[in-house]
Amino acid sequence: MSLSLTSEKTVLGLISHPIKHSYSPFIHNRAAEILGIDMVYLPFDVPFTNLKDAMRGVVALNIKGFNVSLPHKENILTFLNEISEEASIISSVNTVVNDIGKLIGYNTDSFGVLDSLQDYKDLIKGNEVAIVGSGGSARAVIYTLIRHFKPEGIHIINRTEQFAETLKKYFKTSMNFEKIRAYELFPPDLVPVLTNCSVIINTTPLGMFPDTDDCFTDIAESFVPGQLYFDLVYNPLETKQMIIAKERGAITLGGLKMLVAQAAKSFELFTGKEMPSEQIFRELTESLKK
């Protein structure tokens, strides 16, 4: 990354609070370096009480765009001039473009999910899918499944069943998708539900470094041969849950491809350029193996 800072350099960033370790600065700065784009991508620690002022600052300082992480993905909707169709339905924004003072919000997580699951569309269409979790990532996954993959039914599993129930009702109303059921995360009772699903997707941080021994079920019989287990966790590259599923003959997919794909869509929105995703994926893979 070039260290030269001039008034012509495009400034992008990430807003979150507190700012934790994120791969976003590496991904975007490395992509800009490869493509020879004069830009810098910086992390900004923005408490919720400062969010409105931060948006004024973005416009005043001509920051061209930024990604949004917790806890702002939903709260930021109030301060935007326009939001995309997918962000409106998901009710969550992770990318904002500053178009000459007009702040436009997008949800590129949905593009990451779409890219990750394209090779498995025949496994999803007309079949049952289980979603573990009920947060913003779960909403992005459910939206993408309904919009692009046409599953027969969706089963939402969460530690607090009421949150899963709320999500079920939301998508019945917002996308007119009736075949959704909600469950409490109680692994022994879920074995028949999970084994009846062609695809299981974990949208929670369970198993993320450093808590790599965590998983939502240690009952191996919850998985069956030929089933797809997709874990949105990308660090480690292979989670404990992925190992359990693989040992039962399931196909496993980690979250790194989705991480890069959603970042690539954000990068395109920011710069109008295509991110060198394959090279970024390779470099991140090597980094995470260390």
Nearest to 180 by CA among 193, 191, 189: 193
Catalytic pick among 64, 73, 240, 265: 73
State whether the Cα torsion 52-58-64-70 is positive or negative. negative
Q: To the nearest 10°, the Cα dihedral for 201, 207, 213, 215?
A: -30
SS (H, E, C) 155-175: EEEECCHHHHHHHHHHHHHHC
Residue 158's beta-bridge partner residues?
184
CA distance 166 to 31: 39
Q: Could you give phi then psi for residue 97, rounded to 5 degrees?
A: -110, 130
Roughly what angle, to the nearest 10 degrees, separates helices 256-271 and 109-117?
130
CA distance 187 to 85: 35
CA distance 28 to 34: 10
Q: Tell me, yes or no, if 125 is annotated catalytic.
A: no
Residue type present at position 114? L
CA distance 30 to 283: 10
Active site residues: 73
